[in-house]
Structure 1
Amino acid sequence: MTSALLDPERQFLGCLMQLPLTHARRVLTGMCPGDLADPTASFVLHLAIRAVANDQRPAPVVLFEHAQEIAERPRASRLREVALWLADVYQAAPAAPVEHAAYLKAVVLKAAWRRAVAEHAHRLLQAASESATGELHELLDDTTAVDDLWSRYQAARNPNSVSARLEVAA
């Protein structure tokens, strides 16, 4: 069994690669490459956002083409890894990607929010023992990243709300 079957990030990207442009644009609304924990998945999301911004469907061949374009030096082994990753994820994607993509987006954003909360808590814990009181107070109040992810997660959970009707960032 492939690990793509059990990984929400890979399942999300597998669905995304099967969507028509209009659906892909809607699903990518509020998504950022940094939302994904896996570096390859993050890179592929970057490629998908780039493709959709260029009015291209995020099909595997389009994503691979974009990977080739942005590679500093064509590294055959790395590009081969990306190609195999794309094929594996595309093949393991759930049937009915339109129905699954929105749900998986919310799952991915919830995980990203939880990671952001954990990172913020870690910074606070470290600052509590190492930083000046003023710096600790500023860090305590700096929840911008966490709040942003929470808003995007809520919008993904409720795609018909007014705040969820944004455009994908290029």
Structure 2
Amino acid sequence: MSTALLDPERQFLGCVMQLPINPARRLLAGMRPNDVANPLAAFVLHLAIGAVANDQPPMPIVLFERAQEIAGRPRAARLREIAAWIARTYEAAPLAPEQHAAHLKSVVLKAAWRRAVDEHARRILQAVAESSTDELHRLADDTGAADELWTRYRAALNNGSVSARLEVVA
């Protein structure tokens, strides 16, 4: 069994690759490459956001062509790895992506929010041991990244009531 079948990030990206430009634009609204944990998935999400921002559908061939353009003169092995990852992700994507994509977006954003909260908690724990009280207070109040992800997650969970107003950022 392909690991892509069990990975919400890859399932989400597989859905994105199957969508025409306008549904893909709506789905990618508010998404950022760092919303996914896997570095290769983040790169592919970056490619998809860029394709949509340039009015191109995020089909696998378009993403691969963009990868070649971005890389300039990449090592052939790395480009083959990207191409294989894109192909496996596309092949393992759910059928009827329109029905699954919004849910997968909320799953991806929920995981991103949880990572942001975890990172914030780790910074606070480190500051408890190593920083002044004023610095600890400043860090404890610095929840902007997690708050922003929470807002995007809730919007995705509510089928884009807020995300429909967001634009895809290239």
For residues 107-148 of structure 1, give each alpha carbon's deviation from its aligned partner in whole angstroms, at most 9, with x where no partner exists: 000000000000000000000110011111100000000000
Work out whether residues 51 and 58 of structure 1, in 8 Å CA contact, stay in contact via their aligned partners in 2.
Answer: yes
User: Kindly tell me: are residues 142 and 25 of structure 1, through their superposed partners in 2, closer, same or farther at Cα, counting changes over 3 Å?
Assistant: same
Number of aligned residue pairs: give it: 170
Query: Which residue in 2 is equivalent to 1:124?
Result: 124
For residues 60-90 of structure 1, give each alpha carbon's deviation from its aligned partner in whole angstroms, at most 9, with x where no partner exists: 0000000000004221100000000000000
Work out whether residues 27 and 101 of structure 1, in 8 Å CA contact, stay in contact via their aligned partners in 2.
Answer: yes
- The two structures, once aligned, show a CA RMSD in angstroms of 1.0
User: Kindly tell me: are residues 114 and 160 of structure 1, through their superposed partners in 2, closer, same or farther at Cα, counting changes over 3 Å?
Assistant: closer
- Distance, in Å, in 2 between the alignment partners of 1:72 and 1:136 is 44
Work out whether residues 28 and 168 of structure 1, in 8 Å CA contact, stay in contact via their aligned partners in 2.
Answer: yes
Query: Which residue in 2 is equivalent to 1:155?
Result: 155
- Distance, in Å, in 1 between the alignment partners of 2:54 and 2:136 is 43
Query: Which residue in 2 is equivalent to 1:138?
Result: 138
Structure 2 letter corresponding to 1:136: L
Query: Which residue in 2 is equivalent to 1:38?
Result: 38
Query: Which residue in 2 is equivalent to 1:73?
Result: 73
Question: Could you say what secondary structure the match of 2:22 adopts?
Answer: helix
Work out whether residues 15 and 98 of structure 1, in 8 Å CA contact, stay in contact via their aligned partners in 2.
Answer: yes
Query: Which residue in 1 is equivalent to 2:87?
Result: 87
- The gaps in structure 2 that reach 5 residues or longer are none
Scaled by the length of structure 2, what TM-score is found? Answer: 0.97
Work out whether residues 158 and 164 of structure 1, in 8 Å CA contact, stay in contact via their aligned partners in 2.
Answer: no
Report % sequence identity: 71
1:165 is displaced (CA, Å) by: 2.5
Structure 1 letter corresponding to 2:84: L
